[in-house]
Amino acid sequence: MDAQMLKGQVAIITGASYGMGQAMAEVFAQEGAAVVLTARGREKLDAVVEKIRAQGGRAIGVVADVTSEEDTKAVFETALREFGTVDILINNAGIGEQKMIDETDDDWVHQVTDINLVGPMRYIREALKIFMPKNEGVIINISSVNGTRPFCGAAYTATKGALNTLTKNVAMRLIDTDIRCNAVAPGATVTPAHLANRAGQQPGGAKMLEYSGHFVYFPGPECDPLDQAYACLYLASKMGRHVKGQVLQVCNGAFL
């Protein structure tokens, strides 16, 4: 009996050139899925693809920006051309920031919203063109504990709260189908973005944490990208076959 939980599946994973996206791609490939990875930079993306292929997995990288409708369509066209179908979509690409509301102008709001909220909407719309005719598919949105405990930047937290709501809305729309939509809400996870945040290097610096720090607890150990990948594997596989419209928080109990 083959133990691979995603054998024969095809997954699109956005923002997969490092961090959590890379871990998701590697785990899914190990579990038998063909993976289509996106990122805005070619060098790191190619390195992840080559690593997966060297381990016997099937992978292809597509340089794409989630804010581009043209790029989004190209990702799905590539997946269909290379692997014949799409079964799983993981909306992982996003931007973190720490700008306080009084430092947040309209241009910044539009930029963060286009990446963190409108981007997933674009990908879900394209995925449903494939999922709905076959009445099967999995959508996983990568949210954040900030969706319910908004201690980072005003625009970032607003988009993650909205992404949680979008997840439930899409699940309601698809309730009479075999298409599942859920979200994973990571807590503090050791990635380059998280380390930059802790160092005050994200847009907005660390000023917001002076206020929100009263409500934030970072216990040890922090999560590993694999922890978030395993949560996605649960939702994407038969283990999560009756889970719909849920936001699964993976935070080592730090944000209860």
Q: How far is C-alpha 80 from the geometric centre of its chain's CA atoms?
A: 21
Residue 212: strand, helix, or coil? helix
CB contact at 8 A, 119 and 12: no
Residue 77 CA to residue 99 CA, distance in Å, equals 36
Residue 88 CA to residue 14 CA, distance in Å, equals 11
> Apex CA 248: angle with CA 243 and CA 249, to 5°?
170
CB contact at 8 A, 92 and 139: no
Angle between helices 225-236 and 19-30 (to 10 degrees): 50
Closest-CA residue to 138 (of 24, 59, 55, 62): 24
Query: Hey, which residues are catalytic here?
Result: 156
Angle between helices 119-134 and 69-83 (to 10 degrees): 40
Closest-CA residue to 149 (of 229, 9, 254): 254
Residue 168 CA to residue 109 CA, distance in Å, equals 23
